[in-house]
A and B are shown apart, each in its own frame.
Chain A
Amino acid sequence: AQRVTQPEKLLSVFKGAPVELKCNYSYSGSPELFWYVQYSRQRLQLLLRHISRESIKGFTADLNKGETSFHLKKPFAQEEDSAMYYCALTNTNAGKSTFGDGTTLTVKP
């Protein structure tokens, strides 16, 4: 069975501070991991894929297979980063994605 855990439901930081949103997973195969973001009153959208190792809007995420983690990081948070963030794991063979419960990030001025 695959499972995604986001331990923090709410996270609040000040503008300019570093931010880390935690994601841990359990999966017996080789995982495909993603971060999605949902801004207020907008649809969910893909933020990052682990396989692409890219930085989007200043966010990065590194897959740590030893710790089964895929934490999302940004060195200097901005107010426009305030949103709900979801970590998701895709079972490559079955083509299904499992989502964590989400973390609401608030960046205060």
Chain B
Amino acid sequence: DADVTQTPRNRITKTGKRIMLECSQTKGHDRMYWYRQDPGLGLRLIYYSFDVKDINKGEISDGYSVSRQAQAKFSLSLESAIPNQTALYFCATSDPGQGLLFGPGTRLTVT
């Protein structure tokens, strides 16, 4: 069974629509992250959370919001999707010093 799961795996949506990407982990880690992957740009951090009451902006948080519903769940929302948010989105979790454990990714296309 996968330690980190993401839903949906693929999504096509229209400009202006609200969309939520969900992430769950079974590792019992406090730290969770959302990254965006674009060709040639590596991974860029959108938001991160170190516990249920802790939410922090990453380097590219504009246009995104998050919710940490429980230790195991961390959702990413696009309030009004735009085409340049088309990307591959990864959720990750970690223990300090142990490196990141990634989900399978959500491929989002905004038309």
Q: Which residues of A contact B (CB under 8 A)?
A: 9, 32, 34, 36, 43-46, 49, 51, 86, 88, 90, 92, 95-102
Contacts and interface: CB of A to CB of B under 8 A. Distances in A.
A51 B102 CA distance: 20
Contacts of B50: 95
Contacts of B58: 96
Interface residues of B, number: 25
B103 A86 contact: no
Contacts of B31: 95
Contacts, number: 54
B52 to A, nearest CB: 16
B21 to A, nearest CB: 15
B42 A49 contact: no
Given A32-B97, A43-B90, A49-B99, A95 B42 contact: no
Contact of A9 (B33, B40, B97): B40
Contact of B100 (A9, A36, A92, A101): A36
Contact of A95 (B43, B48, B105): B48
Given A9-B40, A102-B42, A43 B48 contact: no
Nearest to A100: B42
Given A43-B90, A86-B42, A95 B96 contact: yes
Interface of B: 31, 33, 35, 40-45, 48, 50, 58, 90, 92, 94, 96-105
A34 B90 contact: no
Contact of B48 (A51, A96, A100, A101): A96
Given A96-B45, A96-B58, A99-B43, A44 B96 contact: no
B101 A46 contact: yes
A45 B41 contact: no
A100 B43 CA distance: 8
Nearest to B100: A97
A32 B41 CA distance: 21
